Amino acid sequence: MPYSFVPIFTEAGFPEVALAGSRRGGGCHNERVTAASEPSDPLSEEAPGPETQHRDVSGGRLRPAVFGAMDGLVTNVSLMAGVSGGGVLRHAVILSGWAGLVAGAFSMATGEFTSVKSQNEMVESEAAVEREGLAANPREERAELAASLVQRGVAPALANEVAAQMSENPDEALRFHALEELGVDPGQLASPYEATGLSFISFAIGAAVPLVPFLLGASVLWPSLAATAVALALSGGIVARLTRRPIALGAVRQVALAVLAAGVTYGVGRAIGAGVS
């Protein structure tokens, strides 16, 4: 009678194999043979390490907020410095500060909306062209996708296989082509409305800093310059911290650029004011 193998598990969890069907003296019994467990891969038993977390580097929110605040600080302190250099009264400096805040905030928001909206429309237009190409020439587009993978170091056979699987999902294929050819993900475009709101608010906040000392009763320029320098140092340090750069360097760089801008504008205002008077 041929033997058959019956798996049996012990209390320890190790499998045993019973050889059923052997006959001794007309009786049937099972012979148990313990099966050696196969060595396991030590790498498969290791717990996965913590996933590396990255910040969003696409600039969706950070760019308009940072640029708006920096622009508001430098623009308005320079404007007020130029007007003050012309030898005008305190009221005129305050008026110029308010005008710079409102006009600058709307200008910044308008520019940001136009920039982001135009960029999104261009990406959507190019993505539509790519989508039509995927539908009209699927074989050529798949070969192009495979060639892109080969350029990244993937073996040709594997690249063809990956390209074939990816081409089964038109949206994923379009996303890959857009990332390769346009450098953007069509599904992760920045919102022009969010960028507009952030730019407007951040510019207004930055522009208000040099204006506040005059609203509180200051009649000379240096309190506005001091408040602006502190705000620029803090914002420059924060940006440097976010980008993992030396905090002191970021702070000093922002203050130095603002000093240059305000100094030049003050000199121009003083020269024009003297000429007019």
Every domain of the chain and the residues it spans: 63-270
Q: Are 33 and 17 in contact (CB under 8 A)?
A: yes
Q: Which pLDDT score, from 0 to 100, does residue 95 have? A: 95
Instruction: Please calculate the CA angle 25-29-32 and round it to the nearest 5 degrees.
Output: 135
Number of helices (H), then strands (E), belonging to the chain: the values are: 9, 3
- 66 CB contacts (<8 Å, ≥6 apart)? 202, 235, 239
Mean pLDDT of the chain: 78
* Residue 21 burial class via C-beta count within 10 angstroms: exposed 0-12, middle 13-18, buried 19 and up: middle
Q: Per residue in 93-111, pLDDT tens?
A: 999 999 999 999 999 999 9
Whether residue 20 has pLDDT greater than 90: no
Task: Say how many residues make up the chain.
Answer: 277
Q: Are 233 and 48 in contact (CB under 8 A)?
A: no
To the question of pTM greater than 0.85 for the whole model, the response is no
Q: Which pLDDT score, from 0 to 100, does residue 37 have? A: 44
Whether residue 32 has pLDDT greater than 60: no
Percent of the chain with pLDDT over 90: 35
pLDDT band for position 3 (cuts 50, 70, 90): very low
